[in-house]
Amino acid sequence: MTSPLKPPEGNWWDQPVDRRETIWLGLGVGWALVLFGWMSAFTRVGDQNPIGETYRVSAEEFRAKMGEYQDAGEETDEGLVPPGDDVLIGAGQFYWDGLPVVLEADRQYDIHLFAYDVQHGFSIRPEETLSKQINLQTIPGYEWVVPMTFDEPGTYRVLCNEFCGDGHEAMHGRLVVREGEQ
Amino acid sequence: MSTSSRHRLDVLGLFDNEYDEDGYRQCSVTGLDVHRSVENHVKLFGVTAVVWLLVGGLFAITVVGTRWEAIGLLSASDYYIHLSMHAWSMLLFWIVFVEVAILYVGGPMVLGRRLPLTKLAKAGYLVMVGGVLTIYYAIWTTSAPDQAPLLTAYIPLPSSPLFYAGALTFVVGVVIAAVPFFVTLWREKREKPGETLPLVTFGAFITGIIAVEALLGGVVAFGGALLWRLEILTFDPAAYRMWFWIVGHGTQQINLVAMIVVWYFLTHVVGGAEVVSEKVSRTAFILYLFFINMGAAHHLLVDPGISTGWRIWNTSYAFYGATLASLIHAFAIPAGIEAGRRKRGKGGGLFGWLTSAPWQNPMFAAPVIAIILFGFLGGITGVLMGQLQLNMAWHNTFATVGHFHSTVVLGTTITFMAVVYFVIRTMFMRRFVSNRLASLQPFLYGGAMGLTALMMMYVGILYGVPRRTPEVVANIPGTDFSLSAAEPLFVVFGLAAFVAIAGGALFVVLAVGSLLFGERIEPGRVDDSLLADGGDASLGFADGTELTTRESIDLSQDPDDPVHAYEMRGTFVLCLLFLAAFVITYILNWYLITQLWQIGA
């Protein structure tokens, strides 16, 4: 009747289920609904979601846009101060185009992520607190606009965490967040 | 039986069991009627799998020696090639070859049938081996403009055309090798239309379906990438990611389901476990069938161009249907051990069924170690990183590597090592060259690998160490910034990983040594070290001889003594502990993510 190697005999479907197994099933269903509910609700009420508009753009188009953006921005010793709320970041073998960049704390920017040649990984953390890190994929042909508001001033370090060829390990960029103008 | 025909294909005395005129023998351990055609093909795929494990293990040495930057063994270019060799050997070749063997055991062997279409099985084998060798050659000879493929070969980063061709060949070979399994089930159901399949066969059938779905995704991914590489057609890199992960993650779902089938099988045969509810366990397999392939979406959670709704629906396996299935097995398998052992008089108190279990038998210890470590380390982290938001912290960090070493190594590889041990004992009929070392091996390997995986997760989540890079902790070329705060944990990682590699090497030595030098177990003789622990003197015979495995197994057929009537409170307590660990790690991960700056629309 209960060997996994033999066909079960008789009406095995109606055989009673142990009470504790039934309770466990209930707990499992409940936990599954919590997992789903929280993930879904957090996209509405939470502040950290990998969500943003995507546009199909060619590498040439993004490069042209990057040129205009860099011309309009202000070059400083620490990096480019963007002309507005848009921040363009293009990943290439093996550099971060548009970085270093200087941003204001507590101001929401639209971060435009793009890959010129192959896939790269946008991996960013403040250099003082390595555990505060996130990672977003960049794919050629896709410009992904993810809004971000940095609330803590400091230097943020960007690494590539998608293998993009021999030389990938040296791909590094910087993002400087200054106190905002209050 | 004519001796000449028996030894016609014999190699090193490995294919020389004695069969009756119809080609059958009865296994003295399981009582199954085993046909020569099944057994020989199981041996063929099983032994070949160990070869790939050995290759992958050798590259584990150089990979660990490089990631532990204090040693810094390889240059970056070499590292990517070695990492590719390690990944393909372990994740695909070792595991998939064992999986084909498991299909043949779960189908024809359990059903007491011969393996049909043996020529097709052999053809599948040869095509698979051809694919393996092509991939090895392509990776090893990588030269510009091509790059090492790693596991994923994400286009438009080019790899050698031979690599895509090899991958396509391998995938097609697996499908060919799976055909005899499906034909077996077809014939079984045609002959016995009203009869339910045994649970193990049912699980193997689900495994087979999930495998074919995954492999067809691989045909599109690798076939498409090959045509793209030859500049015959264009292939969108985001679309490639989806197709690749249908096979990339799908093959890991084959692992999962195959591994669970083995857990039911081995805990029954060597631990006296029974199925506490056919209905519940089979429903869980059905849930896998419908929902688990959606797990591929976990890899695309922080990709551009995919809607939030698509990501949430798929990554939640449609409301966590597949997670529920795993939670069901997490109860049903230990409950089967508990109730089965209580029924056999081996379960006093809350955990007497566990403390009295045959822990010195690696065919019992290995799967149970796998169940525990897979659940606590692999299963929980899989659900965590499969949450849309938490994935931002996990994606492509070393923590991801820690996750899949928990699922694929702590779960699948340890389980499949037990399969190989089982094949050596019951099909090759060889004793282990050292019982003591065989008892030790799962604990050594599981313990060290568990610590290794934990360290990978810590450095990935707490220090943001990326995967797939030889230099980042002590030194990032071209900048003074580094992640050197993670160095102390990397010392633990490196030491634990080398001990784990030693544990893996011990497995290969035991397996190969026992095949070549192990004492033969004569047919008909009950192998005393394989007694299911239901075999206890108190249940045994008047003359003091113990219950054999066969007799213990036959107990589960007693209609007047149903197993579901026995206590499962020990399992219930263990499962509550597991759920508590799940909830705590879930909250901790969410706490970390909410400490970040504002991200996303």
A16-35 residues touching B, CB cutoff 8 A: 16-18, 20-21, 23-25, 27-29, 31-33, 35
What is the per-residue pLDDT for B289?
Answer: 94
Mean pLDDT of chain B: 91
Give yes or no: residues A87 and A110 share one domain. Answer: yes
Interface touch B597/A151, C-beta < 8 Å: yes
Residues A25 and A76 in one domain: no
| Residue from the list B389, B579, B601 with its beta carbon closest to the beta carbon of A27 | B579
Q: Do B467 and A161 touch (CB under 8 A)?
A: yes
Residue B467 Cα, gap to closest chain A Cα (Å): 7
B378: which 2 tokens?
């692999």
**Complete DSSP assignment for A83-115:** SSSEEEEEEETTEEET-SEEEETT-EEEEEEEE
Q: Based on the domain organization, do A39 and A59 belong to the same domain? A: no
Judging contacts by C-beta atoms under 8 Å, the chain A residues touching residue B200 are 4-5
**61-100 of A, contacting B, C-beta below 8 A:** none
Cβ contact, residue pair A139, B241, below 8 Å: yes
Give residue B1's pLDDT band: very low, low, confident or very high (50, 70, 90). Answer: very low
Give the bridge partners for A109, in sequence order.
A148
Q: Taking residues A29-39, report their average pLDDT.
A: 96
Answer whether residue A154 is part of any domain.
yes
Confidence at residue A1, expressed as pLDDT on a 0 to 100 scale: 45
Amino acid at B104: Y
| Distance in angstroms (rounded) separating the CA atoms of residues B498 and B510 | 18
- From chain B, pick out residues whose CB is under 8 angstroms from the CB of A15: 277-279, 562, 564
Q: Which residues of B touch A47 (CB under 8 A)?
A: 594, 598-600
* A30 CA: distance to closest CA in chain B (Å): 10
What pLDDT is recorded for position B529? 52
Q: Is the pLDDT of residue B7 over 60?
A: no
Residue with tokens 């590539």: A160
Residue A69 sits in the same domain as residue A118: yes
Contact A166 B469 (CB under 8 A): no
Question: Which chain B residues have a beta carbon less than 8 Å from that of A52?
Answer: 304, 600-601
Q: Is B434 left (phi over 0), alpha (psi -120 to 50) or beta?
A: beta
Residue B203 tokens read as: 């699980």
A7 is a domain residue: no
Average pLDDT over chain A, rounded to an integer: 95
- A69 & A153 share domain: yes
Contacts of A157 in chain B (CB under 8 A): 481
Average of per-residue pLDDT across B295-320: 93
* B601·A144 Cβ contact <8 A: no
Mean pLDDT, to the nearest integer, of B458-485? 92
Q: Do A2 and B278 touch (CB under 8 A)?
A: yes
Q: Is residue A37 part of a domain?
A: yes
pLDDT digits (tens, 9 = 90+) for B18-42: 899 999 999 888 889 999 999 999 9
Identify the weakest region by mean pLDDT among B131-140, B184-193, B307-316, B560-569.
B560-569
Residue A24 lies in a domain: yes
Instruction: Give residue A82's Cα distance to chain centre.
Output: 21
Which tens digits make up the pLDDT trace of B496-539?
999 999 999 999 999 999 999 999 887 655 555 555 543 333 33
Three-class SS of residue B111?
helix
CA distances B219 to B47, B88, B158, B238, B255, Å, are: 26, 16, 18, 17, 19
User: How many domains does chain A divide into?
Assistant: 2
Closest CA to A154 of A172, A130, A171: A130
Co-location of A74 and A147 in the same domain: yes
What is the ipTM, given to two decimal places?
0.96
Same domain, A33 and A60: no
Chain B residues within 8 A of A54 when measuring between CB atoms: 304-305
Q: Do residues A110 and A155 share a domain?
A: yes
Chain B contacts in chain A segment 95-114 (CB below 8 A) = 108, 113
Q: What confidence tier does B544 reach under pLDDT thresholds 50, 70, 90?
A: very low
What is the interface size between A and B, counted as CB pairs within 8 Å?
A: 318
CB contact, 8 Å: A58 with chain B? Answer: no
In a domain, A10, yes or no: no
Do A34 and A109 share a domain, yes or no?
A: no
pLDDT tens digits, B234-291 = 999 999 999 999 999 999 999 999 999 999 999 999 888 999 999 999 999 999 999 9
Which residues in chain B are closer than 8 Å to A46, comparing Cβ atoms? 389, 594
Same domain, A91 and A32: no
- Pick the residue from chain A with its C-alpha nearest to B301: A50
Of residues B157, B556, B600, nearest to A147 (C-beta): B600
Could you tell me if A72 and A117 lie in one domain? yes
Whether B114 has a pLDDT exceeding 80, the answer reads yes
Distance from CA of B506 to the nearest CA of A (A): 31
Q: Which domains does chain B have, with CATH numbers?
A: 29-554+563-594 (1.20.210.10)
The residue of chain A nearest to residue B486, with distances taken between CA atoms, is: A130
Measured between alpha carbons, how far is B531 from B131 in angstroms, rounded to an integer? 40
pLDDT score of A45 more than 90: yes
In the predicted model, what is the mean pLDDT of residues B366-370? 97
Q: Is residue A4, in this structure, part of any structural domain at all?
A: no
Rounded to the nearest 5°, which phi and psi values hold at A24? -60, -40
Which residue range forms the structural domain that includes residue A37? 18-43
pLDDT at B6 over 90: no
CATH of the domain at A144: 2.60.40.420
A-chain CB neighbours of B397 within 8 Å are: 123, 133, 135, 161
A32 and A60, same domain (yes or no): no
Does residue A12 fall inside a structural domain?
no
Annotate B382-402 with three-state secondary structure.
HHHHCCCCCHHHHCCEHHHHH
Distances, alpha carbon B169 to alpha carbons B90, B160, B215, in Å: 18, 14, 11
pLDDT at B199 over 50: yes
The β-bridge partners of A147 are A110
* Distance of residue B513 Cα from the nearest chain A Cα, in angstroms: 30
In a domain, A9, yes or no: no
